[in-house]
Amino acid sequence: MAEPLRIALAGLGTVGVGVIRLVEANAQLIARRAGRPIQITVVSARDRNKARGVDLSAYAWEDDMVILGERADVDVVVEMVGGSDGPALALARTTIEAGKALVTANKAMIAHHGLELAGKAEDQKVALKFEAAVAGGIPVIKALREGAAANEIERVYGILNGTCNFILSTMEDTGRDFADVLAEAQAKGFAEADPAFDVEGTDAAHKLSILAAIAFGAKIDFSSVDTAGITRLRAADIAQASALGYVIRLIGMAETEGGNGKTALFQRVQPHLVPVDHPLAHVDGATNAVVAEGNFSGRLLFQGAGAGDGPTASAVVADLIDIARGEVGPAFSMPVGELEALGPAATGHRQSRAYVRFMVADRPGVLAEITAALRDAGVSIESLIQKGRSGDAVMVAMVTHEGPESAISKALELLEGSESLTEPPLVLQILGE
């Protein structure tokens, strides 16, 4: 059998330790599938003395993780540190510039610096792989980059954040409000002490921008992802959606405009009402799911654990097996120089149905004011429900007929500054077929 592929591992958190356990437990199977052994030779983390539940005595220790990329006893660096910049980015640059392959689960770094790193990897003729950066153990990047490579991908969308999905599905099952369920998610380890990246949609936006680049052959444009999280959702919104035949899920969606002559890229992360008969409606807990629609393959659904030590470690080691086999290939399906620079798509003309929720003062004339603004903006109301008091306010929820998004935006502009509204309106798109 060929010489071992020698691995340096930076970061010994939950997933880093999971990689060690997987490589040790399945060493023989991995070697047979890779055509050569995969061996961890050196590790690095912030705290050398922290108890991690694995024996590190067989591995060399490097206090300065950036040096890992320059060591002579390393062929591939696995970066599990996290963060878009700082030590993780310094390590990534050093590794690739030294002519070594890089495997990372760092979606923030890839979303912000992926094109730079991919270009360096092409120059050095080494692999840059990041399967674990999107949807944990689901091999969706490999599926888009390889399995669906012959297809023109028309749309890619899905549930990309397990924390938000756990919160929303738990609110759905229990009728509890957001803050209460968030505290439970933190207690169970599904949410960080500071959950902002998850619940405000940033994590899902990082992942969506990566998927869009691969699916459409476009340059990553994270800054143009229209992002909204789940913090404003109430138990009453979940209940209202259920009564209408929907569930609420945080959906990341990307598609291009202009067909084969692509001119713009639409990217949005936002809670959506999802019909109960749609496949994504049945994705609950901390699960992720991605739908890709190809012009010949049709609808492809990928579903599985979106986080956790086992699934994410599985994705990392799958990338290592590819590298051991000599699979280099462009990080984003095609060389960086061939990726298209697509501007952000305008959204006003997009046709959809929407759920609009108002919290209003309980006094005469309020409903008439709202409906007049909607009428003047050209928004047609399909159904309207007025709920009882929530504190000093009353909830008014409605579903619109299909129409341009610009019409709802105009209606909200007409209502801006109204003393009848106790908080800004909430608008959720309804996921179509």
149 and 187 belong to one structural domain:
yes
Summarize pLDDT for 51-81 with one digit per residue, the tens: 888 989 999 999 999 999 999 999 999 999 9
Average pLDDT over the chain reads: 93
87 and 171 belong to one structural domain:
no
Q: What is the mean pLDDT of residues 196-209?
A: 96
pLDDT band at residue 306 under the 50/70/90 scheme: confident
Q: What is the mean pLDDT of residues 332-349?
A: 92
195 and 248 belong to one structural domain:
yes
Lowest mean pLDDT among 45-54, 100-109, 243-252: 45-54
**List 100, 107, 129, 207, catalytic entry:** 207
277 and 225 belong to one structural domain:
yes
301 and 173 belong to one structural domain:
yes
Per-residue three-class SS string for the chain: CCCCEEEEEECCCHHHHHHHHHHHHCHHHHHHHHCCCEEEEEEECCCCCCCCCCCCCCCEECCCHHHHHHCCCCCEEEECCCCCCHHHHHHHHHHHHCCCEEEECCHHHHHHHHHHHHHHHHHHCCCEECHHHCCCCCCHHHHHHHHCCCCCEEEEEEECCHHHHHHHHHHHHHCCCHHHHHHHHHHCCCCCCCCHHHHCCHHHHHHHHHHHHHHHCECCCHHHCEECCCCCCCHHHHHHHHHCCEEEEEEEEEEEECCCCCCEEEEEEEEEEEECCCHHHHCCCCEEEEEEEECCCEEEEEEEECCCHHHHHHHHHHHHHHHHCCCCCCCCCCCHHHCECCEECCCCCCEECEEEEEEEECCCCHHHHHHHHHHHHCCCEEEEEEEEEECCEEEEEEEECCEEHHHHHHHHHHHCCCCCECCCCEEEEECCC
| pLDDT at 392 > cutoff 90 | no
pLDDT of residue 320: 97
Q: What is the pTM of this model?
A: 0.94
Structurally, the chain folds into a number of domains equal to 3
Determine, yes or no, domain membership for 315: no
Last residue of a domain, one of 106, 133, 160: 133
The CATH number that applies at residue 109 is: 3.40.50.720
pLDDT of residue 432: 83
392 and 266 belong to one structural domain:
no
68 and 172 belong to one structural domain:
no
Last residue of a domain, one of 103, 133, 163: 133
Summarize pLDDT for 251-298 with one digit per residue, the tens: 999 999 875 666 899 999 999 999 999 999 999 988 999 999 999 999
The CATH number that applies at residue 298 is: 3.30.360.10
The CATH number that applies at residue 424 is: 3.30.70.260
Last residue of a domain, one of 305, 340, 374: 305
User: Which residue range forms the structural domain that includes residue 94?
Assistant: 5-133
The yes-or-no answer on residue 207 being catalytic is yes
| pLDDT at 172 > cutoff 80 | yes
356 and 259 belong to one structural domain:
no
